[in-house]
Amino acid sequence: MATTAPLLSAAARRCSRSASAVVRRHVIDSHNLTLDGCAAFREMPRATFSSSEAFEAVGHRWRIRWYPNGEEEIGWLARDGYTSLFLELDNDDRTTDPVDFRFSLLDHAGCPSRATVWLRHVFSSDDRGSDRWKCQGFHYFMKWTDLEKSGCLKDDRFIVRCDISSVKWMEADEIADAGDGTAAPVAQRVVVPPSNLHAHLSDLLWKKQGVDVAIDVAGETFEAHGWLLKARAPVLEAELLAATKEKEKAPGGGARRRMEIEGMEAKVFKAMLHFVYTDRLPEMGERETVAMAQGLLAAAHRYKIEKLKLMCEEMLCKRINVNTVATIMVVAEEHGCHNLKAACLEFIGRPGNAKAVMASEGFEKVKASCLPLMMELVVMKKLA
């Protein structure tokens, strides 16, 4: 009995503790929609749509609206030949936070063949009670002629995927303490740092460790690693091999290959090289973003660096305005950026925008360089 009292006393002093957390999580849900019977749907009048079954995503119920021959809210000629896709909030709910979404055309293996840019929208009714803000999407999802050429239209059907993304506040499960008053939740004991591989590769590039390639661009020389170019930019590596017959002696010993690239600014190539090594774009000021993105898009198209090309398209989509839309649309046309061009047409088609664009400085700079596009703008202006 002599040992019982201290044990009971110690037990009485022990306190039970618990912990909980509210965690901010980035949630992405997807829904595949099969669009069957395309031949019959193509006979439907413009502005006629068909809706999908309702589906759950990021905590809300949604439907996808498909306009086989285009949505006719504004109704100008340049929309002919396009099929439109819209995302619609299905119930009386509203999204108080922005929701990002995009549509992708899937090939027969279920992989994206072409995707729209991400579109951000708050799905809710406006102050007058109208529900038009509960439906948002892409007037120019794709031309039927491009869809037929893609190989994704088979047996009179094709499949699209809708990705929906939102930031959610989630309450974590309550975590009970071990009881000794000192233990912490497991998640607080071990913290895994984010990947810094990009920083190491960036150091490898700019410190010129083990470089075996020299590339001259607009009077500047950039040194790089052939093995990394082969993995990340094989078209550039192939061009380097074709242009280099003999290796020269490197300053630190060993041999290196050398080539010259024409038709590109040095700062654009430097930014592209930074992406090749780090999978990221260098920081740039807002004033130079449009020009740099246009130059990088051309470089990415030239060397078939698809992710960089999509990143540049996204940057330009966010910066479409009256003064930039004409030059951006020319770049989109030159480099086969169908979604970027569609975003430009979407902007120009808004009431009053076509006339403002044709009066802009940007239009004056490019009106002689791409006559088909400029004629398209003239038609829009007359119909606006």
Instruction: Please state the separation of Cα 71 from the chain's center in Å.
Output: 24
In a domain, 63, yes or no: yes
Query: Is 47 domain-assigned?
Result: yes
Highest mean pLDDT among 11-20, 117-126, 169-178, 264-273: 264-273
- The model's pLDDT over 164-200, given as tens digits with 9 standing for 90+, comes to 988 766 555 433 444 444 444 444 455 566 777 877 7
Which residue range(s) make up the domain with 39? 24-170
Q: Rounded to whole angstroms, how far apart are CA atoms 213 and 219?
A: 16
pLDDT (tens digit, 9 = 90+) per residue, 46-62? 888 999 999 999 888 99
**Within a domain: 162:** yes
- Helix (H) or strand (E) run with residue 119 in it: strand 119-121
Dig out the tokens for 148 from the structure: 């037929």
Q: Quick one: pLDDT band at residue 311, thresholds 50, 70, 90?
A: very high
If pLDDT is split at 50, 70 and 90, which confidence band does 20 have? low
pLDDT digits (tens, 9 = 90+) for 228-268: 999 999 999 898 888 775 566 656 556 678 999 999 999 99
Per DSSP, the residues of 132-151 read GGGEEEEEEEEEHHHHHHHT
Q: What is the CATH number of the domain that holds 131?
A: 2.60.210.10
Give the pair of three-digit tokens for residue 236. Answer: 């550039």
pLDDT of 14: 53
5 vs 131, higher pLDDT: 131
pLDDT band at 301 (very low <50, low <70, confident <90, very high): very high
Nearest Cα to Cα of residue 163 among 58, 84, 59? 58
Other CB atoms within 10 A of residue 234 CB = 13
Does residue 362 sit within a domain? no
Nearest residue to 345 (alpha-carbon basis) of 337, 41, 3: 337
DSSP single-letter state for residue 154? B
Residue 111 within a domain: yes
Contacts 24+ apart (CB under 8 A), 231-237: 232/276, 232/277, 232/305, 233/276, 233/303, 233/305, 234/304, 235/302, 235/303, 235/304, 235/305, 236/276, 236/303
127 part of a folded domain:
yes
Based on the structure, what is the number of domains in the chain? 1
Q: What's the residue count for the chain? A: 384
Domain annotation covers residue 130: yes
96 is a domain residue: yes
Number of Cβ within a 10 Å radius of residue 47: 13
pTM of the shown model: 0.55
